[in-house]
Amino acid sequence: MAKTVKDYIRTIADFPHEGIMFRDVTTLFADARGFRMAIDQLLHPYAGEPINKVVGLEARGFILGGAIAHQLSVGFVPIRKKGKLPGTTIAQDYKLEYGEAIMEVHDDALKPGEKVLLVDDLLATGGTAEAGIKLIERLGAEIVGCAFVVDLPELGGRKLLEGLGYDVHALCDFEGA
């Protein structure tokens, strides 16, 4: 039987905290066939869509986003944690499970009207993706879609993003947190 993207993802119990089932995509990235399958499947729904830039969320979204941007022959824009970008940035705070954090993007990374595909490895509560969307839109760009390898449906991220009117594409889902 042919492998699916989900088959390449390792689960690590009790990481980073007890009770958490960590979905480790590094095993997917390490396998040439699995990685290519994931990139191809992330791209598929957006074939033929006008996309000017791919935006990746720190950190694993950089790996996926860079590969997708290469396939599309478009530019790549990183959205990073506060203090990691050297130029002038705009910032957006967001909630984490245990506190808050801040994401930043260079203030000249996107131009008004550019069509953007947002990419990350995992969609949980949707907080990081929502912060990324706000940054993209503050720069005047438009979201074509939000693509993820893994969705954790019980945590509500997909419902949040779809409720805000965004197209969400995930390659697989896992039950639990």
Report pLDDT digits (tens) over 81-103: 999 999 999 999 998 777 899 99
Tens digits of residue pLDDT in 3-38: 999 999 999 999 988 988 999 999 999 999 999 999
Structural domain 42-173, CATH architecture:
3-Layer(aba) Sandwich (3.40)
- Active-site option among 23, 60, 80, 158: 60
Out of 49, 97, 137, 162, which one is annotated catalytic? 97
| Model pLDDT for residues 65-81, shown as the tens digit of each residue | 999 999 999 999 999 99
Instruction: Give every CB contact of residue 15 below 8 A, 6+ residues apart in sequence.
Output: 22
0.85 cut: is pTM over it? yes
Which pLDDT does position 103 carry in this prediction? 98
In the chain, where the domains are located: 42-173
pLDDT at residue 58 tops 70? yes
Mean pLDDT of 107-133: 97
Question: Would you state the structure tokens that stand for residue 27, as one six-digit string?
Answer: 């095993």
Can you tell me the mean pLDDT for 142-170? 97
Q: Is the confidence at residue 129, as pLDDT, over 90?
A: yes
Report the pLDDT value the prediction gives residue 177, as an integer from 0 to 100.
Answer: 61
Instruction: Please say whether the beta carbons of 19 and 177 come within 8 A.
Output: yes
pLDDT at 98: 72
What is the DSSP annotation of 145-162? EEEEEEE-GGG-HHHHHH
Neighbours of 81 (CB within 10 A): 14
Question: What average pLDDT is seen over the chain?
Answer: 96
Residue 60 known to be catalytic: yes
- The answer to whether residue 97 is catalytic is yes
pLDDT exceeds 70 at position 39: yes
